[in-house]
Structure 1
Amino acid sequence: MLDIAEELHRWARQGREFAVATVVATDGSSPRPPGAALAVDSDGEALGSVSGGCVEGAVYALCQQALADGESVVERFGYSDEDAFATGLTCGGVIDILVTPVRGDSPAREVFGSALAAAADAGQGTAVALARVAVGPPELVGRALLVHPDGTYEGGLGGHPELDRTAAAEGRAMLDAGRTGTLVIGADGSRCGQPLTLLVESSVPAPRMIVFGAIDFASALARVGKFLGYRVTVCDARPVFATETRFPEADEVVVDWPHRYLNSVSADLDGRTVLCVLTHDAKFDVPLLELALRLPVAYVGAMGSRRTHLDRNERLREVGVTESELARLRSPIGLDLGARTPEETALSIGAEIVAARRGGTGVSLTGAHTPIHHDGSRMPVSGTGVNG
């Protein structure tokens, strides 16, 4: 649900009644991950998606029914071999959908409003987790708890008094990891007893992309970074090039020596941060990469030809960068797409970042036997690409 928070928050502010269908769990090949949502208001307007089109019509009807009767439900959709036109996933997967009405008299409306407000503001640094009962006693299904980073919470799941405290502790752990998914606890808040399944959606600040080098490739990469959901910073020591006019898509443009700026913000970076070094100049690259390769970030890539890459590696070894640290460097940056233009090159860099984040191979899916969707999120430590 929090994936459509900005639009849904607008509905909540306007006082609209709506029902929201959220993917709880998936099995096999499925188009959308847990947390993906479709919302329908009382006028029939819809936003979001739970399946990319396979079951949207049936889920839309479930939302209308939930709005009418005020009841939360969980439905499973899967592929039907007997009837190819039956409602289900033609990709062969299975998804469980939680449908929750948010009417004027809904006990969770205030909690939903707070969660949507926080998630819509996630780009400004607000982090929250929304825990909802997906499987359990009928009177508890759909009940919601909003968990803050410090462990405090709003709302309540009902039932046993220990349930909220246990759910808040588990939700906080998932929020710390930035994870969305399900967990099973006892309905009385213990690790045993009657099981109860919670869907926990984490909303965390947008990950950072820092692009070093105010060149035309950086302008294209800033656009790709924003499209991928990053908070983009462009940094260059040359004030004539590092201007907001040249980089309107960037969230901020910084005039500073790259290594000095990176050092100043290093404490604020995390395992989702990507660093793209496009400066293409040893006096900038070497001190910058010496620091970058020792930070616990997700991705460090540097532009340059293969000759530039080899020369740069030798310079980095001379200043004490180890082989294991060098193995983290993706250089030449990007995947081999045959890119020439700044836009094509930015696409190849963005594609490599996504592949590294999701555990993809970067090979064509045509004729391949690799999964289309990868469950894990990881960042391999080495890779090659093609640069001009």
Structure 2
Amino acid sequence: MLNIADTLRTWCRERRPFALATVIRVSGSAPLPVGTALAVDADGDVIGSVSGGCVEGAVYELCQQVLKSDERPTRARFGYSDDDAFAVGLTCGGELDVLVQRIDPTDQPHLIAALDEVASGRPAAVAQIVDGPEELLGRTLGFTGDGSTHEAAAGGEQGKRWEPWERSVAGQARALLRAGRSGRVEVGGDTTTCPERLSVLVHTHASRPRMLIFGAVDFAGALSEIGRFLGYRVTVCDARPVFATPARFPHADEVVADWPHRYLAATEVDARTAVCVLTHDAKFDIPLLRQALSLPVGYVGAMGSRRTHQHRLELLREADIPEAHLARLHSPIGLDLGAHTPEETAISIAAEIIAHTHQASGTPLTRHTGPIHHRTTP
């Protein structure tokens, strides 16, 4: 649901009830991932998408029905039908399950709190029950990045039954939030927490992953632009102050004049961080790569010719860098796209980062069979 957080926040602030349709399961080549949502307010205004257009009309009708009749949450499955070419279904051949529920903002202050965090750019998560007892279906719990928990106001049996397994949901939700990933978790099914097995979809909004670009060159300018477009918080770093200026890199979130290895040793990184070394100068590259390859970052790539790469490997081995660390190095950086210009090269580098992040091959889809969309498990 956080894909439409801005509009949902406005509707919640205006105390405007709405119906929320959330993708809770996908299989095959369904076009959008689990957690994607569409919402409809009482005036019929719609925001978001659950299928890229294939089944939007049917989901819109379900939303209006649930919103107007104040029904309990309902689930619907959409897939491809060979029997009727005009039937509502996914032309891509996949299947998806959608949960449609009515949201009354006055009953869910925790949702407003989570959406406020998202609007401010701070980490937040919303846990949503998507499978389990009917009376619990659709129930939500909100979390902020500082560890605070916001629960929906609810009385009666519903309120009593949330408490025993709230701690389990909170722990798993915060783990997903730290990793910057959304996904389904299973809780309950035992005598110590909750007798029923519950499936909970955790929607996360994490801080932006970092892209650290070393070398204030033309390629860095193009890469900083595409990195920001992809949602990274981009830093350009170079030891030469005359080149490391904000005016030369307007798309970077920050530009740092410092020795690359010294900056990297002092800055914060995590498993989502992409380190791109574009200097192809040994006096910068070797101490920087020695540092980068020892850190738990997601991607390390270095620019240069194959001759430069071989010489770089020799110097790194002389510096006693373990082979296991060297195996993490993407060099020469980027995919084989025949790139020549800085812009083409930036696309080549970004494409390799995307493929590496999703554990994909980076080869043309025409050479593959099976599902197009890769699904990762939390």
2:155 maps to none
TM-score for the superposition, normalised by structure 2: 0.91
Shift of 1:251: 1.1
| Corresponding position of 1:167 | 169
Q: Is the 8 A contact 1:357 1:377 kept in 2?
A: no
What does residue 9 of structure 1 align with?
9
CA distance in 2, matches of 1:176, 1:104: 27
- With 138-147 and 4-13 compared, the bigger mean Cα shift is at 4-13
1:218 match: 220
Aligned residue identity for 2:119: A
In 2: Cα distance, 1:230 partner to 1:4 partner: 19
Out of 152-161 and 60-69, give the one that drifted further. 152-161
Q: Cα offset for 1:152? A: 4.1
Per the alignment, in what secondary structure is the counterpart of residue 288 of structure 2? helix
- Equivalent residues in 2 for 1:303-342, closer than 5 Å: 303-342=303-342
Q: For the Cα contact (< 8 Å) 2:38–2:48, is it kept in 1?
A: yes
C-alpha distance in structure 1 between counterparts of 2:193 and 2:372, whole Å = 35
Tell me if structure 2 keeps the 8 A contact 1:165–1:189.
no
Kindly indicate whether residue 113 of structure 2 is the aligned counterpart of residue 73 of structure 1: no
Which one-letter code corresponds to 2:181 in the other structure? R
State how far apart, in whole Å, the 2-side matches of 1:183 and 1:314 are: 46
Residue deviations 1:206-249, cap 9 Å, x none?
A: 11111111111111111111121111111112222212122111
1:53-92 counterparts in 2 under 5 A?
53-71=53-71, 72-92=73-93
- The answer to whether the 8 A contact 1:21-1:38 is kept is yes
User: Comparing 353-362 with 175-184, which one deviates more in the overlay?
Assistant: 175-184
Q: Give the letter for the 1:351 counterpart.
A: A
Query: Alpha-carbon deviation of 1:148?
Result: 3.9
Cα distance, 1:192 vs. partner? 6.2
Query: Does residue 197 in structure 1 map to residue 199 in structure 2?
Result: yes
3-state DSSP class of the match of 1:113? helix
Report the CA distance shift for 1:43/1:238 in structure 2 as closer, same or farther (over 3 A). farther
Structure-1 separation of matches of 2:114 and 2:129: 15
State which of 248, 254, 257 in structure 2 corresponds to 1:255.
257
Q: Does the CA contact (< 8 Å) of 1:210 and 1:233 recur in 2?
A: yes
What are the residue-to-residue correspondences of 1:208-357 with 2, within 5 Å?
A: 208-265=210-267, 268-357=268-357
- How far 1:153 moved relative to its partner? 1.7
Residue 11 to residue 236, structure 1, CA distance change in 2 (3 Å) = farther
| Cα distance between partner residues in 2 of 1:130 and 1:189 | 26
Given that 2:238 and 2:260 are in contact with CA atoms closer than 8 Å, whether structure 1 keeps it comes out as yes
1:51 is aligned to 2:57: no
CA distance in 1, matches of 2:230, 2:191: 38
Aligned partners of 1:151 and 1:169 also within 8 Å: no
Residue type of the alignment partner of 1:35: G
The change in CA–CA distance for 1:370 and 1:324 in structure 2 (over 3 A counts) is farther
Alignment gaps of 5+ in structure 1: 379-388
Q: CA separation of 1:13/1:249 partners in 2, compared to 1, >3 Å: closer, same or farther?
A: farther
Shift of 1:336: 0.2
1:370 CA displacement? 5.2
Q: Is the 8 A contact 1:23 1:95 kept in 2?
A: yes
Q: Is the 8 A contact 2:352 2:362 kept in 1?
A: yes
Matches of 2:340 and 2:222 in 1, distance apart? Answer: 12
Distance apart, 1:159 and its partner CA: 4.2
How far off its partner does 1:116 sit? 1.2
Instruction: Give the Cα separation in 2 of the matches to 1:14 and 1:246.
Output: 43
AA aligned to 2:127 is A
Q: 1:285 to 1:7 in 2, by over 3 A?
A: farther
The offset of 1:12, in angstroms, is: 3.0
CA separation of 1:75 and 1:158: change in aligned 2, threshold 3 A: farther
Find the aligned partners of 2:189 and 2:6 in 1 and give their Cα distance: 32
2: CA distance between counterparts of 1:229 and 1:31? 20
1:113, distance to aligned residue in structure 2 (A): 1.0
Q: 1: CA distance between counterparts of 2:185 and 2:299? A: 29
Q: 2-side partners of 1:377 and 1:288: how far apart?
A: 32
- Give, in angstroms, the shift of residue 149 of structure 1: 4.9
Q: How many residues align?
A: 371
Q: Using the alignment, how far apart are the partners of 1:232 and 1:359 within structure 2?
A: 22
Whole-angstrom distance in 1 between the partners of 2:191 and 2:169: 7
Cα distance in 2 between the residues matched to 1:242 and 1:196: 52
Cα distance 1:327–1:61, how it changes in 2: closer, same or farther (>3 A)?
Answer: same
The two structures, once aligned, show a CA RMSD in angstroms of 2.2
Q: Displacement, 1:87?
A: 1.1
Q: Aligned AA for 2:112?
A: G
User: For residue 127 of structure 2, what is the aligned residue in structure 1?
Assistant: 131
Instruction: Report SS of the residue matched to 2:352.
Output: helix
CA distance in 2, matches of 1:150, 1:337: 42
Counterparts of 2:277 and 2:62, CA distance in 1: 49
Shift in Å, 1:151: 5.0
> Residues 170 and 295 of structure 1: is their aligned pair in 2 closer, same or farther, counting only changes over 3 Å?
closer
Q: CA deviation at 1:33?
A: 1.0
Q: Structure 1 221/10 Cα, relative in aligned 2: closer, same or farther at 3 Å?
A: farther
**Counterpart code for 1:86:** A
Structure 2: runs of 5 or more not aligned: 153-157
Q: Which one-letter code corresponds to 2:110 in the other structure?
A: V
TM norm structure 1:
0.89
Q: Please say if residues 105 and 112 of structure 2, whose CA atoms lie closer than 8 Å, have aligned partners that are also in contact.
A: no
Contact 1:40 1:64 in 2 (8 A): yes
Task: Check whether the contact 2:15–2:104 (CA below 8 A) recurs between aligned residues.
Answer: no
Moved more, 339-348 or 368-377: 368-377
Alignment partners' CA distance in 2, 1:77 and 1:191: 33
